[in-house]
Chain A
Amino acid sequence: NAGVTQTPKFQVLKTGQSMTLQCAQDMNHEYMSWYRQDPGMGLRLIHYSVGAGITDQGEVPNGYNVSRSTTEDFPLRLLSAAPSQTSVYFCASRGSSANSYNEQFFGPGTRLTVL
């Protein structure tokens, strides 16, 4: 299993540009999330999905869109990049079972710089 994969690893954008961060998992996990991590800070939830076709907003959703057309893929779109979106972005996935928890696995991260 490749686990959770993310592309690209690094990206530099100019203000106003749009782009999509890719995330895929091969563990058949129902639950997927996107986080951003700013220097010296914790993890802040952007968007999450509890299954194909279902997405919801997290703590900091503004400026980002997501979709979940398949169980495997959960892309994150930056609509019009701003310097405040400079951060490291982590995708994560977890299997689900009623009233229980399973380990959340993180991808390797995408380091995004917006100039």
Chain B
Amino acid sequence: GENVEQHPSTLSVQEGDSAVIKCTYSDSASNYFPWYKQELGKRPQLIIDIRSNVGEKKDQRIAVTLNKTAKHFSLHITETQPEDSAVYFCAASTGSNYQLIWGAGTKLIIKP
């Protein structure tokens, strides 16, 4: 079955710098890759997603890149701000029953 690995588990960056979180997946049939942000005590919320027919997608300060050959996708946050502090989860579809398989999460800390 599908397996998703997410790195790093914790990332600390200076405010204004960029942050990159990487996920790898195992099932070459996976075709949908969302990223969710979870603030402390809140529910996960979708921030950006990408499908397998696209290599990159941007939305203001966040972007996601997908490398199907290497089976990895990454979240890029530029000009980080204090409100970017949260746990970020990646996920991938299984392709068979449209289940999402989740990474373990990355705690992003923005230092003032």
Distance in angstroms between the alpha carbons of A104 and B38 in the assembled complex: 14
Contact status of A101 and B102, CB under 8 A, knowing A42-B89, A43-B89, A106-B45:
no
Q: Which A residues are CB-close (under 8 A) to B104?
A: 41-42
Q: Which residues of B contact A101 (CB under 8 A)?
A: 32, 34, 49, 51, 93, 98
- The answer to whether A107 touches B43, judged by C-beta atoms less than 8 angstroms apart, is yes
CB neighbours of A74 from chain B (8 A): none
A42 neighbours in B (Cβ, 8 Å)? 89, 102-105
Task: Give the contact-size bracket for chain B.
Answer: 10 to 19
| B-side contacts of A90, CB under 8 Å | 43-44
Given contacts A42-B89, A42-B105, A43-B89, contact A104 B43 (CB under 8 A): no
- B44 engages A106 (CB within 8 Å): yes
B43 touches A43 (CB 8 A): no
Q: Tell whether, in the assembled complex, residue B44 and residue A48 are in contact, meaning their CB atoms are under 8 Å apart.
A: no
| A64 interface contact, C-beta 8 A | no
Specify which chain A residues have a CB less than 8 angstroms from the CB of B43 in the assembled complex.
90, 106-109
Q: Which residues of A contact B89 (CB under 8 A)?
A: 42-43
Task: Kindly identify which residue among B34, B49, B99, B105 contacts A45, using a CB–CB cutoff of 8 Å.
Answer: B99
Supply 25 A–B pairs (Cβ within 8 Å), ascending by A.
Answer: A31-B98, A41-B105, A42-B89, A42-B102, A42-B103, A42-B104, A43-B44, A43-B89, A43-B102, A44-B102, A45-B99, A50-B97, A56-B97, A96-B98, A101-B34, A101-B49, A101-B51, A101-B93, A101-B98, A103-B34, A103-B49, A104-B34, A104-B46, A106-B45, A108-B43
- The 8 A-B pairs of least Cβ separation, nearest first, read A106-B43, A101-B32, A42-B104, A43-B102, A103-B46, A42-B105, A42-B102, A106-B44
Which of B's residues lie within 8 Å of A, judged by CB?
32, 34, 42-46, 49, 51, 89, 93, 97-100, 102-105
